[in-house]
């Protein structure tokens, strides 16, 4: 499934035009973690390719199941799923213009958990980049949300 979203722009448009996004979002409800994970990666790829694809993913309800996948991986210390789930969710959130806070509000706590609990530089890079994307838009409100999440000391620690 991952390779479906890795082609040329024209190929990717065809994959989306043929219903890939709703099908992948539906797979996020699978009882099998490996199927959920295999659906998450191409959603991250597709979101990074186009703001229209990203918006379709958001409107399709992908954020909650993706947050659940990453949260479960964190609770089980599943580094592979943490790394790739973190990347996919961050990729969905980074496309500019940044999504409205309401659309991605539930992502902040799980990214805060990633930053406060992980040491892997690649995982941290994506999660901290997510925080920088999160600042776009309603800056004062979003800064306060990050402060309230308690993640600032961890971000500063990883900058040292």
pLDDT tens, residue by residue, 98-147? 888 788 889 999 999 999 999 999 999 999 888 877 766 667 777 888 88
pLDDT in tens, 52-87: 999 999 999 999 999 999 999 999 999 988 998 999
| Cα→Cα distances 69→3, 33, 155, Å | 20, 8, 23
pTM value is 0.87
Among the residues of the chain, which ranges form H helices?
9-17, 20-27, 33-49, 51-59, 63-75, 79-94, 101-104, 107-117, 121-134, 139-148, 152-159
First to last CA, the chain: 38
**Domains of the chain and any CATH numbers:** 2-159 (1.25.10.10)
Do residues 114 and 74 touch, judged by C-beta distance below 8 A?
yes
Neighbour tally for 138: CB within 10 Å: 13
The predicted pLDDT at position 53 comes to 96
- The answer to whether the Cα torsion of 72, 80, 124, 154 is positive or negative is positive
């Amino acid at each position: 499934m991952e390779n479906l979203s890795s082609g040329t722009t024209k190929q990717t448009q065809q994959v989306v035009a043929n219903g890939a996004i709703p099908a992948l979002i539906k797979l996020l409800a699978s009882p099998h973690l490996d199927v959920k994970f295999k659906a998450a990666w191409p959603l991250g790829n597709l979101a990074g390719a186009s703001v229209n694809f990203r918006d379709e993913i958001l409107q399709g309800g992908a954020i909650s199941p993706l947050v659940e996948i990453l949260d479960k991986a964190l609770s089980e210390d599943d580094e592979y799923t943490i790394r790739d789930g973190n990347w996919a969710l961050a990729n969905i959130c980074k496309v500019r213009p940044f999504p409205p806070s309401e659309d991605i509000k539930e992502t902040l706590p799980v990214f805060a958990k990633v930053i406060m609990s992980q040491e892997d530089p690649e995982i941290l890079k994506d999660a901290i980049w997510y925080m920088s994307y999160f600042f776009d838009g309603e800056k004062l409100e979003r800064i306060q949300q990050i402060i309230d999440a308690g993640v600032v000391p961890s971000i500063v620690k990883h900058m040292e």
